[in-house]
Amino acid sequence: MDFPGARVPFTNSLTFMGGQFSTAEPLACYRTLDSTGGVIEDAQVPYEIDQQLALKMYNTMVQLQAADTIFYEAQRQVGWITNHHV
């Protein structure tokens, strides 16, 4: 499966990474800003992010969040319809 910037392989085994069902540590979340929007000292940024790129990244994240909400609600409606009208 192709995602922007990466190719992700398929697998037929389910593995939990962290949480109550695993002894493995959860995957780390990369960030360069703290919860107040301040820059994290010594954060490693792989390349310069100018204002134009930052806005493009932000807009993409907002669009993905909106699409995720729409698809989640659609999935719930389809589930309700199939459970009550079939």
Q: Where are the domains of the chain?
A: 2-85
Name the strand (E) or helix (H) holding 3.
Answer: strand 2-3
d(CA 73, CA 66): 11
- Taking only the tens place, the pLDDT of each residue in 6-42 is 788 888 988 777 777 777 777 788 888 888 988 899 9
Task: Indicate the pTM of the whole model.
Answer: 0.48
d(CA 82, CA 62): 30
- Taking only the tens place, the pLDDT of each residue in 65-80 is 999 999 988 888 877 7
Q: Does pLDDT of 51 surpass 80?
A: yes
